């Protein structure tokens, strides 16, 4: 079967039209995604600001909206854990910290994250989990600048666990 010149033009025109329509659709979808990302980023930043001001209830509302749209966001789950801890909802804080770790297992190398997780596990009396985390802190030999007495704090939490059992 041979194509005539006019059929080749129609085929070429169809392919070009298909590509142009595909590019337009991709552009529209990308701009919508950009708008959603910008809205979630603004809510996240608002939650950070409110949390730093001590307004934990409003910060919780803002971060909850972010988590509704992006439930697997590491930073949103981590901030939710911090806000929940400040609201004294330690079980919920522990859940969000655990989810943060599930999303990014490399957090086990973050001394601040690990001590916070260990403290939360101790507070909710999950002593075996706390012991695992705190022994990791001890084995890491970390002494972050923010907490010069990091290892002493780890040792006191481990002693607290031993006294509780």
Verify that 80 and 5 share a domain, yes or no: yes
Verify that 108 and 134 share a domain, yes or no: yes
- pLDDT recorded at residue 32: 66
pLDDT at 14 over 90: no
- pLDDT recorded at residue 15: 78
Verify that 9 and 82 share a domain, yes or no: yes
pLDDT at 90 over 80: yes
Identify the CATH number of the domain in which residue 50 sits: 1.25.40
Please report which confidence band the pLDDT of residue 93 belongs to, taking 50, 70 and 90 as the band edges.
very high
Residue 26 placed within a domain: yes
Verify that 9 and 78 share a domain, yes or no: yes
Q: How far apart are CA 139 and CA 126, in angstroms?
A: 20
Verify that 73 and 117 share a domain, yes or no: no
Of 87, 116, 132, at which residue does a domain stop? 87
Of 54, 87, 120, at which residue does a domain stop? 87
CA distances to 3, 8, 29, 148 from 15, in Å: 16, 11, 21, 65
Verify that 112 and 81 share a domain, yes or no: no
Residue 98 placed within a domain: no
Residue 99 placed within a domain: no
Residue 118 placed within a domain: yes
Residue 78 placed within a domain: yes
Nearest to 87 by CA among 56, 119, 62, 113: 56
Task: Give 50-87 pLDDT, tens digit per residue.
Answer: 999 999 999 999 999 999 999 999 999 999 999 999 99
- pLDDT recorded at residue 86: 95
Residue 10 placed within a domain: yes
Whole-number mean pLDDT of the chain? Answer: 89
The count of structural domains within the chain is 2
Q: What is the span of the domain harbouring residue 48?
A: 1-87
- pLDDT recorded at residue 1: 64
Verify that 42 and 82 share a domain, yes or no: yes
Do the beta carbons of residue 67 and residue 58 sit within 8 Å? no
Task: Give 16-48 pLDDT, tens digit per residue.
Answer: 777 878 777 776 666 666 677 788 888 889 999
């Amino acid at each position: 079967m041979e194509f005539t010149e006019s059929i080749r033009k129609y085929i070429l025109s169809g392919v070009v039209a298909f590509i142009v329509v595909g590019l337009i659709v991709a552009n529209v979808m990308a701009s919508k995604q950009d708008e959603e990302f910008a809205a979630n980023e603004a809510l996240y930043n608002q939650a950070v600001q409110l949390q730093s001001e001590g307004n934990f209830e409003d910060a919780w509302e803002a971060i909850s909206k972010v988590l509704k749209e992006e439930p697997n966001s590491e930073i949103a789950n981590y901030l939710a854990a911090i806000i929940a801890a400040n609201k004294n909802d330690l079980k919920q804080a522990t859940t969000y910290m655990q989810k943060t770790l599930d999303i990014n297992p490399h957090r086990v190398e973050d001394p601040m994250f690990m001590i916070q997780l260990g403290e939360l596990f101790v507070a909710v009396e999950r002593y075996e989990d706390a012991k695992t985390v705190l022994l990791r802190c001890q084995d890491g030999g970390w002494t972050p600048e923010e907490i010069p007495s990091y290892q002493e704090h780890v040792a006191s939490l481990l002693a607290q666990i031993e006294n509780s059992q």
